[in-house]
Amino acid sequence: MKRHYFLFGFIFFYAASYAQFKLYEQGVDAYKQKDYTKAIVSLNEYLDKITRDKAIDVEVHYILGLSYFKTNSFTSSVREFDEALQAGHKNTGNIHWFMGQGYSQLKAYKESIDEYTQAIGLITDTKNQAKIYFERSLQHQKLSPGSPFAKDDIQKAYSLDQTNIEIDNARAALLEREREALNQSALAGASTDSRNISSNKKNSKGEPKKKATEVVEKKVAEDKKALLIAEVIKPTETTVASTEPARKSLDVNKSIPINQPEKKVVSVTPTSVPMVEVKLEPTLADLYKDEKRYALVIGNSAYKFVAPLKNSANDANDMAEELTKLKFDVIKIINGDYGQMREAYKKFQEKLVNGPKDQTIGLFYYAGHGLQNEGESYLVPVEADIKYEDDIPRACFALQRVVVANMERSSSRMNIVILDACRNNPFPSAYRSGGGGLAEIKRAKGSFIAFATAPGSVASDGEGRNGLYTQELLKAMQNPGRTIEQVFKDVRVNVMKQSGERQFTWDQSNIIGDFYFKF
């Protein structure tokens, strides 16, 4: 009989493994056929399977990174490429190159420059190295217009490949900008000097003074000559062969998409003094004007089978109101049962999936009872009646497996999960393992996870209208110009003070770029 059970188990496991491998094959085939959306669905479904062959996860993450890149989902692309690198993928040079381009699209220019720098040392082909130098120069320009690093990169790119028309155009544009800058500087100097030498047209030696235009022309000629002498830069680091097909050459009919410094508009007054029109720097509101914000807020207080909580419903109501003021599209559930929580989350997820790629922010807030079981955190609906420990996965809402994992698969560039749910265990008789509080989130790519207290610890419900954590968070969110990291540092400091250092908040972050609650 035991042999029969063993044989049945082996057959079942083999069939399951084979079915999951088919998902991998379907994903790879879809990518080859340029059906990138189907590839993403199949490969993500494969990664969800517990009994999959994890030896090929590295290739799954790489193909997912390429598929997301092809569909302009740059946040997800960067995440998957990073997973491929962590898993030891051999195509490191191309992965860093793709990540540099992805970060550029996300306006994370410092990170983009870092990735291009790593790619340069790993890719040996001279023409590809020239392209990478050229693309890195664009990031330097975006980060700091007029950057000398941008100038150096264009010179290096031209020295490596003088046949690339876009690189040549970039170099020519750089020379033209420098010539114009010298002309403007010389004209401004000549205008000033003319007031002082109108009665003296000879120098101290009695010789005629040179005209300003002669000085300018000589200076421009010297600088132009210097720019034409470019030093050939050769890689010195060990290189890794690229398995990615060579990229298509750049369109020779298109000019360079380089961000040039804005030209100064000069108007000459009767006194010949240059007047410069100053353009104001864009505000945070200007930079993030296309951002779409969606939030799901849940507050459970009126529990049916355990003691109710005093503050959770108030916390959720006040949080929903504040988020609405901060331009979030808010879904709110107060005293939700399992079905209501699941239905609300489904609507929230649809908003994230259909939001504009890399311009969507997803925020999930929960206040109420929470507990952990076998390393997974669960949010407790108001009707949950847990008599045995194995009731927990069936009756409660899984945090990482449902909430965080599905937010990761959406179009959002950043996911924010806020959990004021670390009250003490409401089911002590049935719940024996896992300790108090919530478990740490093990995998949260592109997410900022905030706990009211450290994983495994508990916090009080509070004495006023709000719990201490949400009370301080609502205050901190109202301060303009603070990044999300700064906001939660402010919360941490104030909660520690207010609790007499008995409650310590906890954050986990793996986000790309910045986020501001209030501009």
Helices (H) and strands (E) in the chain, counts: 17, 11
Spatial separation of the C-alpha atoms in residues 390 and 367, rounded to whole Å: 23
DSSP 8-state assignment for residue 389: G
Domains and CATH numbers, the chain: 16-90 (1.25.40.10), 108-195+213-236 (no CATH), 291-509 (3.40.50.1460)
The conformation of residue 311, written as its DSSP 8-state character, comes to S
* 3-class SS of residue 360: strand
The answer to whether residues 277 and 264 touch, using CB atoms and an 8 Å cutoff, is yes
> Which contiguous run of DSSP H or E holds residue 450?
strand 447-451
Q: Computed from CA positions of residues 106, 107, 108, 109, in that sequence, does the dihedral angle turn out positive or negative?
A: positive
At 398, list the tokens: 């899984």
DSSP strands (E only) in 249-388: 266-268, 274-276, 292-299, 329-334, 360-367, 370-373, 376-379
pTM of the model: 0.60
3-state helix, strand, coil split of the chain in percent (to 5) is 50, 10, 40
Per-residue pLDDT of the chain (519 residues; tens, 9 = 90+): 545 544 444 444 444 556 677 889 999 999 999 999 999 989 988 887 766 778 889 999 999 999 999 998 888 888 889 889 988 999 999 999 999 999 899 888 888 999 999 999 999 999 999 999 999 999 999 888 888 999 999 999 999 999 999 999 988 988 888 888 788 777 776 666 555 555 555 555 555 555 555 555 565 555 555 545 444 333 433 333 343 433 433 343 343 343 444 444 444 444 444 555 555 678 888 889 999 999 999 999 999 988 889 999 999 999 999 999 999 999 999 999 999 999 999 999 999 999 998 899 999 999 999 888 888 889 999 999 988 888 888 899 999 888 998 898 887 999 999 999 865 666 765 554 444 568 777 666 789 999 998 876 766 666 789 999 999 999 999 999 999 999 999 999 999 999 888 888 999 998 888 999 999
Number of neighbouring beta carbons within 10 Å of residue 208: 8
Residues sharing a CB contact under 8 Å with residue 508, sequence separation 6 or more, in sequence order: 440, 441, 444, 447, 448, 449, 450
Residue type, 75: T
119: which residues sit within 8 A by CB, 6+ positions away?
93, 94, 96, 97, 100, 132
Give the residue among 389, 135, 177 at the shortest CA–CA distance from 262: 177
CB-CB contact of 77 with 69 (8 Å) = yes
- Does residue 417 sit in helix, strand or coil? strand
Token pair for 48? 């969800």
Asked whether 396 and 337 are in contact (CB, 8 A), the reply is: no
Task: Say how far apart CA 266 and CA 306 lie, in whole Å.
Answer: 74
Q: Are 441 and 383 in contact (CB under 8 A)?
A: no
Nearest-5° angle of CA 430, CA 435, CA 438?
105
* H/E segment holding residue 418: strand 412-420
d(CA 307, CA 326): 33
Amino acid at residue number 31: Y
Cα–Cα dist 112/92, whole Å: 15
